[in-house]
Structure 1
Amino acid sequence: MQRRHFIHTAAAAAVVSSLPGLAMAQDTSRALRIIVPFPAGGATDMVPRNMQDVLPKLLGGQAVVIENKAGAGGSIGMAEIARATDGVTFGIATLSTHGVNPAVFKKLPYDATKDFVGVTEIVKAPGVIVINPKLIPVKTFAEFVAYLKANPGKVSYATPGNGTIGHMWGVQFLKSTGTEMNHIPYRGAGPAINDVLGGQVPVYFDQVAASLPHIKAGKMRALAVSWHERLDVLPDVPTYAQTGHPDLNDPSWFGLVAPKNTPAAQVERVQKAIVAALQDPAVQQRMAAQGLYPSGTSSAAFTKQIASEVAKMKKVAAAANIQID
């Protein structure tokens, strides 16, 4: 059972304002701009929107605007973030944009480690494999693997796009289980989920957050999750480790990054506000219901984490011979 500790927003704001260097006068006339490099409706989009009503209070009344800039596995949005010089543009980084993309794409319009400074890891996000139960007549992970082995190459799986963590999870799943499926990449989680729900593609890999409402409604069947224990929101679904595939058990994450030239004081100010927002009861309750687990790391720790994830994913991509032009 995951435990969460709640404090009121007012108390969180007091914590922020009392921290050294953060009580100074700040320019709040310009909105804080958070770019989400994937379409609305997916797990990446949910993360900042969970905090959008709380953050302005923690930023001295500064408005917070969230913009979706989707395309090319998150590369279009990340490139725009990297180019920003206004000091108020930030972006949502994911294991896809700051781990997988640098590992699998020959050319990117941004450098994941050189063009950004990490602000904070916001949440950990368990992954999930789901099926459309009307298209594949199985109920358990073991039955699904047996079904794939009986129908090699006849089943397709959807992901949020080439080079996304869903893509990597799919490749790792096939290697671990010794099965074959065809990859169908989409322009984000929302479009992929729509086609799985509509019956165009029977299998989907991504974070729990985007699929959870459909799993709860019985429109998708979850077969396994990547987490260290069963999730409170899906207690009947085993972890990959429990199915005999511990190599698939690593979760994803979402964090906030800023262009490399963003003033350090501004990075610190936003980092503290995010950490305080993650302690707000309403924010925690929303995230818990979506299968997201708050983190709130330091800027230095998250910057180091990004470099580590890029190195790790390059090894995974090389071992699986994955490279995208």
Structure 2
Amino acid sequence: MKLNKLVCALVSGFAFAATAHADNFPSKPITLIVPFAPGGTTDIVARIVGDKLGKELGQAVVVENRGGGGGSIGAAAISKAAPDGYTIGVSTVSTHAVNAACNPKLGYDPIAGFSPITNMARTPNVLTVNNKFPAQDFKQFLDQVKKNPGKLNYATSGTCSIQHMVGEQFKAATGTFILHIPYRGAGPALNDLLGGQVDMMFDNLPSSMSHIQSGKLRPLAIAWNKRIDALPNVPTFAELGLKQVNDPAWYGLVAPPKTPEDIIRKLNAAAVKVLNMPEVKERLKQQGAEPVGNSPAEHAAEIKAELEKMKAVVTKQGIKFDGI
């Protein structure tokens, strides 16, 4: 009898401790690691959500950019951080699928190395050229690419990034050859595209949208399930007969592995609430992004499915990680 009471007391104590843990969190600022340089889509989405997330949680959410390695440096930092909820980060197709699919020596496990929180948003990918490029639409663009094999190039946020994979999928689908120029993030890549140092870019729409709207970049095709309201004259890749290039990008929130479930639930609830705020929805929409806000289990399933898909692309294309 006494043993049973002791067991019950211990169980109650553990339950109380877990509840107290969640109730006391957070008691200090949270670091949100963005595994790419400032100015890219990952950074834009993270800052839109992070600002409101901090206010919802009652503690500042401080964005820390750790670019390089196609997002792998920042992702590794997230995975190796203390599992206390005070360091979280952004998951992307690049960090959790593409890098793992094409780099056998990656410094983290995209599945076991993280505790998923939620998918923040999905965005279209977009093919853009500098406004001085001699093509006004996709047909003229494709003619230029086919007439100049190996003479034109495309910028990306890094080797084995989602932009790199989209570029490789485009090359395979069209039977063309364009040179890949990797950068340490979408921001630096965009700067050189705007300056005319590179010819084109397969980018996530939010980081390119302002330059498209200002007329500095010309959009030729988007990867989305339909034409978007902000760019009604730009066809989808599917419309152009390139369905294999028509997949969107996504941006999630993850924590280090073994982060307590009560903290994950609290972060998820706060993030979902933020993503349902009208002002956040509007800001994401203005950037060409669509809010998601699903469960930790659903985001975990997304990561796993994307990883398997990218493994197939890497195998089919014979893509090798070059260490850049």
Note whether the superposition's TM-score is higher than 0.5: yes
Deviation at 1:22? Answer: 10
Structure 1: gaps of 5 or more residues: 1-20
Superimposed CA distance per residue, residues 33-78 of structure 1 (whole angstroms, 9 cap, x where no aligned partner): 110000011000011211233213321x122111101111111111
Q: Partner of 1:121 in structure 2?
A: 119
Deviation at 1:106? Answer: 2.3
| 1:105 alignment partner, one of 103, 113, 121 | 103
Deviation at 1:143? Answer: 1.0
| C-alpha contact (below 8 Å) 1:158/1:183 kept by paired residues | yes
SS at match of 1:283: helix
SS at match of 1:51: helix
Alignment map for 1:207-226 (pairs within 5 Å): 207-226=204-223
Alignment map for 1:125-274 (pairs within 5 Å): 125-134=123-132, 136-274=133-271
Q: Partner of 1:42 in structure 2?
A: 40
Deviation at 1:233? Answer: 1.6
1:64 aligns with 2:26: no
1:201 aligned partner, one-letter code = V
2:208 aligned partner, one-letter code = S
* Alpha-carbon separation, structure 1, partners of 2:224 and 2:135: 22
1:312 aligns with 2:309: yes
- Call closer, same or farther: CA 1:252–1:22 in 2, change over 3 Å: farther
SS at match of 2:284: helix
Deviation at 1:23? Answer: 11
TM-score (norm 2): 0.91
* Alpha-carbon separation, structure 1, partners of 2:54 and 2:168: 40
> Looking at CA atoms only, which structure, 1 or 2, has the larger radius of gyration?
2
Q: Partner of 2:91 in structure 1?
A: 93
Q: Partner of 1:7 in structure 2?
A: none
Structure 2: gaps of 5 or more residues: 1-18
* Alpha-carbon separation, structure 2, partners of 1:316 and 1:62: 41
Deviation at 1:160? Answer: 0.7
1:89 aligned partner, one-letter code = T
- Call closer, same or farther: CA 1:270–1:157 in 2, change over 3 Å: same
- Structure 1 stretches of at least 4 aligned residues deviating more than 6 Å after TM superposition: none
TM-score (norm 1): 0.91
Deviation at 1:235? Answer: 1.3
SS at match of 1:25: helix
| C-alpha contact (below 8 Å) 2:33/2:74 kept by paired residues | yes
| C-alpha contact (below 8 Å) 1:121/1:297 kept by paired residues | yes
* Alpha-carbon separation, structure 2, partners of 1:57 and 1:191: 30
| C-alpha contact (below 8 Å) 1:149/1:179 kept by paired residues | yes
1:291 aligns with 2:314: no
* Alpha-carbon separation, structure 2, partners of 1:152 and 1:71: 29
* Alpha-carbon separation, structure 2, partners of 1:247 and 1:324: 22
* Alpha-carbon separation, structure 2, partners of 1:118 and 1:86: 12
The structure in which a higher percent of residues are helix is: 2
Higher mean displacement: 21-30 or 89-98: 21-30
Number of residues of Structure 1 aligned to a counterpart in Structure 2: 303
Deviation at 1:284? Answer: 1.0
* Alpha-carbon separation, structure 2, partners of 1:23 and 1:152: 59
* Alpha-carbon separation, structure 2, partners of 1:70 and 1:222: 26
Aligned residues: CA RMSD: 1.4
| C-alpha contact (below 8 Å) 2:22/2:263 kept by paired residues | no
| C-alpha contact (below 8 Å) 1:142/1:243 kept by paired residues | no
| C-alpha contact (below 8 Å) 2:25/2:263 kept by paired residues | no
| C-alpha contact (below 8 Å) 1:159/1:189 kept by paired residues | yes
| C-alpha contact (below 8 Å) 1:22/1:269 kept by paired residues | no
Deviation at 1:312? Answer: 1.1
